[in-house]
A and B are shown apart, each in its own frame.
Chain A
C-alpha cells in the first residue's frame, strides 16, 4: 500500500493496469450477460423475470462491499495518513450509491410482478434504503466544506460511524420485519441455488466488481489530478 503513496508511481502502475482492466471488464460483461440473458434457463415459477436477479444481486452485494471498502480506506487515512486513502473513499461513494440505487431500482422492478407491489418495507429493503441514506450523507459531507482537508477528516468519521451502524441496522430491521427471502448463496452447507443459475450470477458479479475497480481507479486518478491542479492554482494565487 505504501508503494502507492507516491503519486507518480501510482500513475505509472494504474496506467499499466487500466487497459487490461477495461478489457477484462468488457469480456466479463459480454460473457456474463450472454450467460444471464441467453444461456441460463428461466425460473419455473418466476419465468423470465428471474433474470433481473443477475443485475440485482451483484449490485446489492457491491453496494455493501463498497461501503466497507470506504470505511477501511477511511481507517487507513486516519491511522496511516496514507495520502490516497481519503480520495479512494471519496470517489468510491458515488459508485457505491449508484450500485445501491441499481439494487433498489431492479428490486422494485422485480417486486412488482413477484410480490405485486413496487415497494414494501421489508427488512432487507429497509436496510438497503438506510445504506443509501448513509451514502448520501457521506457525499453531502464532502460537498459541504470548501476546505478539502477538513472535509476529508469529517468524512472519515461519517464513514466509520456508518460502518458500525450498518450491522446494527441490519440486525434490528431483520428482527423487525422479514418478507425477502433469506440468504441463499453464502450459507452453511453450500449454496441453495442450482449451478445453471449460480454460474451466470458469479460471472455477473465478477464483471460488476471489475467495473467498479476500473472506474474507481479512473476516478481516483482524476481526483489526484484535481487536487494537484488546485494546489497549483493556490500557489499561483499566492504569487500574484
Chain B
C-alpha cells in the first residue's frame, strides 16, 4: 500500500508540475472550442445542440493525447525497471499510474469542460448532469487510455496507434455519457445512464491492471 501511494503521489506531482498535463489539456480544449463555430457556423441553436457532444469529444481527445505520458517517459529513462523491481505487483503499479493520470489530467479537465461549454451556448439546465457524467466517465477514459499507453510504451511515435486502439473502447463511454444529458428530461431521467456509465468504469477498472501489466511485460522479455 505504501509503495502504491508513493507511485501515485510521484506521478500526480509529475503530472501537475511537468507541463503537458491538465494545463495543456485545457488549452487544447479551448482551441477545439474555437474551431467548432468556425467549422459548423456560429448559429446559436445549432451550437447548443452540439455542445454536450463537442465537450465530450474535446475531453476524450485531450485525454487520448496525454496517454503517452503515462508510461513512455518512465520507459525511456529507466524508471520503469526500478518500478518492476519494486515490492509491488506490476498490476498495482499500472493501476496507480492510471489513477495518477486521472487525478492530474482527466479529472480536472472533466470538472472544467462543462463550464467551457458556455462558450458554445451550452444548455444551462444540462450542465449539472453533464458535469456528473464527465466526472464519472473521466476515470474510465484514463484507465482505457492507459491500456493503449502501455501497449505502445516502447514505440517512438505511438500516437496514431493509441488513437486507433483506444477509440473503439471509448464508444460505449461516449454513448452513455451523452445519453445522460439527453435523458434527463425524459421519463427515466439521467439516473439509468449514469449507472451504466458507472458500470463501464468498473469494468475498465477490472480489466486495466491486467491488460496494461501484460502489455508492459511484453517489453521486459
State whether B176 touches A153 (Cβ < 8 A). Answer: no
* Chain A residues whose C-beta falls within 8 Å of the C-beta of B172 in the assembled complex: 165, 168-169, 171-172
- Residue of B whose beta carbon sits closest to that of A143: B161
Whole-angstrom distance from the CB of B72 to the nearest CB of chain A? 14
Q: Indicate if the CB atoms of A161 and B169 lie closer than 8 Å.
A: yes
By CB atoms of chain A within 10 A, which of B158, B164, B219 has the most? Answer: B164
Residue A39 CB within 8 A of the other chain: no
Main secondary structure of the interface of B (DSSP, over half): helix
- Chain A positions within 8 Å of B221 at CB level: 149-150, 153
A37 interface residue, CB < 8 Å from B?
Answer: no
Of B52-60, B107-115, B207-215, the one contacting chain A is B207-215
B118 at the interface (CB under 8 A from A): no
* Contact, CB under 8 Å: A133 / B218: no
A145 to B147, CA, bound (A): 17
CB-based A-B contact count at 8 angstroms: 73
Closest to A176 in B: B175
Which of B165, B175, B214 makes the CB contact (< 8 A) with A141?
Answer: B165
User: Please, how many residues of chain A have a CB less than 8 angstroms from a CB on the other chain?
Assistant: 28
Cβ-based interface call for B1 (8 A): no
CB <8 Å contact, A133 and B161: no
Where the two chains meet, the residues of A that have a C-beta atom closer than 8 Å to any C-beta of B are 130, 133-134, 136-137, 140-141, 144-145, 149-150, 153-154, 156-158, 160-162, 164-165, 168-169, 171-173, 175-176
Whether B179 lies near A137 (C-beta < 8 A) is no
A162 with B168: CB separation less than 8 A: yes
Query: What number of B residues sit within 8 Å (CB to CB) of A?
Result: 28
Report the minimal beta-carbon distance from B35 to chain A, rounded to whole angstroms. 22
Structural contact, B211 and A161, CB atoms closer than 8 A: yes
Complex A-B: 23 CB contacts under 8 Å: A130-B171, A140-B164, A140-B165, A141-B161, A144-B158, A150-B218, A150-B221, A153-B214, A153-B215, A153-B218, A153-B221, A154-B218, A156-B214, A157-B211, A157-B214, A161-B169, A164-B207, A168-B200, A169-B171, A169-B172, A171-B172, A172-B196, A175-B175
